[in-house]
Amino acid sequence: MLGKQEQEQGPRPLTPPPIGKPSGVMQALVRLVDLEAQMEYAYAKHMLLVKRQKELQLQAKVLADLPVGFEAFKEELEALDSTKAAN
């Protein structure tokens, strides 16, 4: 039989067990998940850098093929001279 106090208070609320240290397996799993996330981030960053490097190489190739100095405006100057001579 329940005592008078227990009858007045009703059932006790459930309490969770005290928090203990995580087990070694749980710590290892957390480290594994964290390292996998770091690896995925590093791989994505690496792939972006590889793509950027290819773009920069193409841009450098285009710039290397452009004429420099007098050759850059030679045709325009000749066209301008020919129009002036025709007038």
Residues 6+ apart with CB under 8 A from 5: none
Residue 54 lies in a domain: yes
Residue 64 lies in a domain: yes
Residues 71, 7: Cα–Cα separation, whole Å: 103
pLDDT reported for residue 30 = 97
* Total number of domains in the chain: 1
The domain in which residue 82 lies consists of 24-86
pLDDT reported for residue 8 = 64
pLDDT reported for residue 49 = 98
pLDDT reported for residue 6 = 53
- pTM value is 0.55
Residues of the chain whose pLDDT is less than 50?
none
Per 3-state DSSP, the chain is made up of helix, strand and coil in percentages (nearest 5) of: 75, 0, 25
pLDDT reported for residue 50 = 98
pLDDT reported for residue 72 = 81
